[in-house]
Amino acid sequence: MSALRRIMIPFAIVAMVILAGGVAAQQGGSASPSPGTSPQPFPGEAWAVLIGINRYQHPRIPRLRYAVNDAQAVERALLAQGFRQDRIFTLTDDKATKAAIERLLGDQLRQQVGENDRLLVFFAGHGKTDRLRSGEEEGYLIPVDGDPNQLFSTAISMTALRQISDRLTAKQILYIVDACYSGYAIFNRAIADDLLEEMVKKPAIQILTAGRQQDEAQERAGHGVFTDVLVRGLTGEAFAPGKAWLALEELGLWVKQRVFAESNKKQLPQYGNLSGEGQFVFRKMGPAIGSLSITAKIPGVEVWLGDRKLGETTRGGTLLAADLPPGTYQLKARKPGHKDWTRTVDVSAGQRVELTVEIEARSYPPAIRGKDGAEMVLIPAGEFWMGNTPEGLDPIRDFCKRVPKVSVCRGKHYERDELPRRRVTLDAFYLDRVEVTNALFEGFVQATGHRTLAEQREGSSVWGCGKGSCQSAIVAGAHWRAPTGPGSVAVPTHPVVHVSWNDAAAYCRWAGKRLPTEAEWEKAARGTDGRRYPWGDAWDTSKANGEGKQKGTTPAGSHPQGASTYGAQDMAGNVWELVADWYDENYYRTGPALNPTGPETGDFHIARGGAWLDHAATMMTTHRNRIFPGYAANVIGFRCAKSP
């Protein structure tokens, strides 16, 4: 079985598989139209089903950034083609299940689409191929609830699409899917004006793919290069001067040439007939359509036209465009932590309106107190450097050469975990100034009766150091009230320890907060200038409780000179701090650049910042420590975050 295809997924999987086979020929005859004309009118109604999936449910399927944007861009192109809004059905993210897609295509539209109608189905998401016993490959589209390891039962095969097509009475059916093409033999033929009527009458199976099987999809301006070129072609650029219609063969050649050039020769679309002699034909609309172009200075801005979401701006304020009938429209822009922005827009036929969204961030106090009484500092919205560079890993490489058996060095996960360094954008949030203390945790326990996992197990892991090394052992009776075992006492001002991930999450929920995401923790620790430690790039033993100098925890906030640029203290040393995310060593390569929250599930959680016994290399702001979900020890603590 081949790997999940992100190669031809500019953020979306989109190839053109045109299934017009088995449809009846157009009844009746008429004179062939003269060059430059199109059948007036096209017989029947034009229908469309648009599917875009960014956020897959399966934990091993990477999320996409622009699949939903792609579906919306195609919708706008189809509206400009004359498709009616009430004949367009859109399924995005959680709505795009296998059952919903098959029910819409195989049952609902079977009752609605007439025998002279046309149907276009657009899929933007992930796809995969499966090798059959015969040696041929079967292509699958993966719905939001699909499992790449169980394609037959959870995905939609091209064979299934053919079966669905047989249930529909539409004269022509066009499937658009941005994926690598394999498993079929295609042929091309020339298109002449006097063949137009023949093309729209005869059945055919055609295909236009985003690239070859080995090609890697390119993206820009919130879309894939293939989708961007395709939409431009459909909205007018691919039509020859003076010609009012466009056959798929002509569109395919136009798209192929431009995608190859505009992807810097990294994508080469493929097109042609699989069988039959017909053609899916597009028509050029007159000047009764206007256009609206929107930019924003920041990413993550939702833009709405009335009750219809146009999309979201990406890094750099990516352009959003809409082709609209003339009229007056209400435009709204939204982003968490910002004031809503609204405008009334007049769109005229044949004219382009350009707008810049000037959305303002809400102002927040620099510090607040949570329900638990803990002071929280504001971490402003914006970009920062997350992750590390290969050369930035030298300190931990050197450390692990000296002590390779230390847990953080086994498997050299640090060589993959922190790479690549990338720009990440976060909304504003608040973070506890210091770690949650024993006194605060006592208040939680008194209010809720919560028993930690260590208390339920009647024991926990206790670390101790001596003679140049540190070891851990399970100690009966060790828990947060007795950090080193029976007879020891938790100091109220010290950070609480022996808490599992579930214990920490429960506390934060009780306090009206949440665990910070890994990205939030890292930004709060290193600021926007990519610091190695909260205070700067050089290790300073006086600014953190680390390297075993104290033989245990110290009161939270004991090293104010080591605070981060936002005033968060003890983000290096004292105790490892649990964060919300599951662990994935490849997440920095596949995760979103806007408010990343980590994989949906995993085998490990993550702790950051190092503890009192750790070496300076493991206390770097970029270092990620994998821990089991139920792990508790006298070196594990946490702090909470809160959205404004």
pLDDT of 131: 80
| Rounded CA separation 58/599 (Å) | 9
Q: Does domain 15-283 have CATH number 3.60.150.10?
A: no
Which of 230, 10, 40, 238 shows the shortest CA–CA distance to 120?
230
pLDDT of 72: 87
* Bridge partners, residue 180, by sequence: 211
Neighbouring CB atoms inside 10 A of 393's CB total 21
Question: What does the DSSP assignment read for 486-523?
Answer: TT----TTSBP-S--HHHHHHHHHHTT-BPPPHHHHHH
CA contacts within 13 A on the Cβ side of 214: 1
pLDDT of 206: 67
Which of 466, 469, 470, 491 shows the shortest CA–CA distance to 480?
491
pLDDT of 66: 82
CA dihedral (386, 390, 391, 396) positive or negative: positive
CA dihedral (393, 599, 583, 475) positive or negative: positive
The one-letter amino acid code at 154 reads: T
Enumerate residues 6+ apart whose C-beta is below 8 A from 19: 161, 162, 165, 173, 174, 175, 205
pTM: 0.58
pLDDT of 275: 57
Total residue length of the chain? 644
| Rounded CA separation 154/132 (Å) | 17
| Rounded CA separation 627/582 (Å) | 10
Q: Are 5 and 213 in contact, with CB atoms under 8 Å apart?
A: no
Q: Which residue has the tokens 């104010």?
A: 560
Burial string for 429-461 (b: 16+ CB within 10 Å, else e) reads: bbbbbbbbbbbbbeebbeeeeeebbbbeeebbb
SS3 606: strand
Please give the structure tokens belonging to residue 150. Answer: 């169980």
DSSP 325: -
Q: Could you tell me where in the chain the CATH 3.40.50.1460 domains are found?
A: 15-283
| Rounded CA separation 231/50 (Å) | 14
Please give the structure tokens belonging to residue 117. Answer: 């109608």
| Rounded CA separation 318/12 (Å) | 17
The one-letter amino acid code at 208 reads: L
SS3 611: coil
Pair type for strands 223-224 and 126-131: unpaired
| Rounded CA separation 591/63 (Å) | 7
pLDDT of 203: 64
pLDDT of 14: 33
pLDDT of 115: 81
CA contacts within 13 A on the Cβ side of 138: 18
* Bridge partners, residue 425, by sequence: 383, 594
Report in angstroms the alpha-carbon separations of 465 from 79, 431, 486, 548. 70, 31, 19, 7
Q: Could you tell me where in the chain the CATH 2.60.40.10 domains are found?
A: 290-357
pLDDT of 103: 93
| Rounded CA separation 609/632 (Å) | 16
Q: Are 172 and 119 in contact, with CB atoms under 8 Å apart?
A: yes
pLDDT of 80: 75
pLDDT tens-digit series, residues 90-119? 999 999 999 999 999 999 999 998 887 888
Low-confidence spans in the chain with pLDDT less than 70: 1-43, 179-206, 213-214, 217, 221-222, 273-278, 285-289, 315-323
| Rounded CA separation 150/279 (Å) | 35
Q: Which CATH architecture has domain 290-357?
A: Sandwich (2.60)
Q: Are 64 and 54 in contact, with CB atoms under 8 Å apart?
A: yes
Burial string for 61-72 (b: 16+ CB within 10 Å, else e) reads: bbbbbbbbbbbb
| Rounded CA separation 196/30 (Å) | 12
| Rounded CA separation 340/408 (Å) | 45
Enumerate residues 6+ apart whose C-beta is below 8 A from 213: 7, 8, 180, 181, 182
Strands across the sheet containing 636-637: 625-627, 605-608, 576-582, 636-637
Cα 567 from chain centre = 31
Which of 52, 126, 54, 142 shows the shortest CA–CA distance to 88?
52
pLDDT tens-digit series, residues 438-450? 999 999 999 999 9
* Backbone conformation region of residue 524, classed left if phi is above 0, alpha if psi is from -120 to 50, else beta: alpha
Q: Could you tell me where in the chain the CATH 3.90.1580.10 domains are found?
A: 367-642
Tell me the fold of 367-642: paralog of FGE (formylglycine-generating enzyme) (3.90.1580)
Enumerate residues 6+ apart whose C-beta is below 8 A from 445: none
Enumerate residues 6+ apart whose C-beta is below 8 A from 511: 370, 371, 372, 374, 444, 640
